[in-house]
Amino acid sequence: MRRILFTPFLTLSLIVIITLKIYPQNSQKVVCITVDDLPFVTKNYINNDNTGKYITDKLLTAFRKYKVVTLGSVNSGKLIVNDIADSNRIKFLNQWLDSGMTLGNHTFAHKNYNNLFFSEFKYDILDGELYLKDILAQKNLKLKYFRHPHLYRGDTREKADSLQHFLDSLGYIIAPVTIDNSDYVFSWAYEKALSAENDSLAKRIGGDYISYMSDVLDYYENQSIAILGYNIKQILLTHADMLNADYMDNLLKMFSDKGYSFISIEEALKDKCYTECKDEFYKKPGGISWLHRWAYTMGKRGDFYKGEPEVPEYINELIK
Ligand SMILES: [Zn+2]
């Protein structure tokens, strides 16, 4: 009798213990939202301070609603209008800081490191500190984070090492990306629809953007588990553009509905893989997710990467 009562309890306890041991972080669902190309970026839409104010206000309203602390990565060159730093654009960055967000350096002019020597590219990093360091200093904050333009870290080992050593010497912390995506492609199409005052097309693009990002999240969640054995503290890349201004609320709701909570970059980087996992991914076109850099370094090839969600064809057509 005693044996019959004891066995199910013991079995259940063992299952719980084994499950906790094997899958300690498998179920963790946390994400850091990052926003690049601040103060704002447009391609097919009017580039003036009204657009900048609209984008800034809408993004920050969505972040406040969902209690999100983002990292915003700044191109200080975008602060300059008619050869001087534009006071409104500086104000936008102050709005970010006053809302509790973190700001990082994303270089002055967002150049393509794959087309430059390190000796040229390094000046774009130093120029990226223009204004930004002062804006932070006025609030007793220090410039700490660096986000690579296009996520390019260097297309040869020498260039990658030179860049990393330089960033280390300046005291920067790298802000990686795990959930890479093509939000900017949707954005270019969305801006075209807005400029043409085609509301129904803009709505269709916005809706498809959220579906796409939902698929992208599922994909990188599965990739993380396949590569690392657990779901990493994810870091999402987005941009300070009209599309994300209008759809950030929907995007955050999508993450929230899937059980995700939002963390800062500082909290995300506590995941041990960001310091321990090896990245020796060179000589490849395109900036890619850090998850795939690690996978590549581990020797994963070919089919391992298949299934990454694609931008719908009509959107590619629209931006031609
Ligand atoms: Zn960028």
Q: What is the per-residue pLDDT across 53-76, written as a single tens digit (0 to 9) for each?
A: 999 999 999 999 999 999 999 999
Structural domains of the chain, count: 1
Ligand 1 center from residue 74 Cα (angstroms) = 8
Ligand 1 center–CA 6 separation, angstroms: 60
- How many angstroms separate the alpha carbon of residue 18 from the centre of ligand 1? 43
Q: With respect to residue 7, please indicate whether it lies within any of the assigned structural domains.
A: no
CA dihedral 213, 77, 196, 214 (to 10 degrees): 0
**For residue 8, is the peptide bond before it cis, meaning its omega torsion is within 30 degrees of 0?**
no
Q: Is the pLDDT of residue 131 over 70?
A: yes
Residue 77 forms part of a structural domain: yes
Mean pLDDT of 225-229: 97
Neighbours of ion ligand 1 (CB under 5 A): 36-37
In a domain, 18, yes or no: no
15 assigned to some structural domain: no
User: What pLDDT, on a 0 to 100 scale, did the predictor assign at position 10?
Assistant: 47
Taking residues 28-33, report their average pLDDT. Answer: 97
Amino acid 26: pLDDT: 59
263, pLDDT greater than 70:
yes
Query: Do residues 25 and 224 lie in contact, with contact meaning Cβ atoms separated by under 8 Å?
Result: no
Domain assignment present for residue 304? The answer is yes
Rounded distance from Cα 19 to ligand 1 centre (Å): 40
The candidate with the shortest Cα–Cα distance to 239, out of 44, 59, 29, 91, is: 59
Range of the domain at 186: 26-318
Q: In this structure, what CATH number is given to the domain that contains residue 191?
A: 3.20.20.370
64 part of a folded domain? yes
User: Going by C-beta distance under 8 Å and a sequence separation of 6 or more, which residues neighbour residue 43?
Assistant: 184, 187, 188, 191
Report CA(161)–ligand 1 centroid distance (Å). Answer: 21
**Residue 177 binned pLDDT confidence (cut-offs 50, 70, 90):** very high
1 C-alpha vs ligand 1 centroid, how far in Å?
Answer: 68
DSSP assignment of 48-63, as one string?
Answer: SHHHHHHHHHHHHHHH
Type of residue at 268: A
Residue 90 to residue 141: CA distance in whole angstroms = 15
On the question of pLDDT at 15 being above 80, the answer is no
Distance, CA of 122 to CA of 110 (rounded, Å): 12
Find the helix or strand (DSSP H, E) in which 195 lies: helix 183-195
Distance from the alpha carbon of residue 79 to the mean position of ligand 1, in angstroms: 15
Residue 129 lies in a domain: yes
pLDDT at 216 over 70: yes
CA of 41 to the centre of ligand 1 (A): 9
**What confidence category does residue 27 fall into, taking pLDDT thresholds of 50, 70 and 90?**
confident
Q: What is the pLDDT confidence band of residue 3, given thresholds at 50, 70 and 90? A: very low
Residue 4 domain-assigned?
Answer: no
Q: How far is the CA of 313 from the centre of ligand 1 (A)?
A: 24
pLDDT at 116: 96
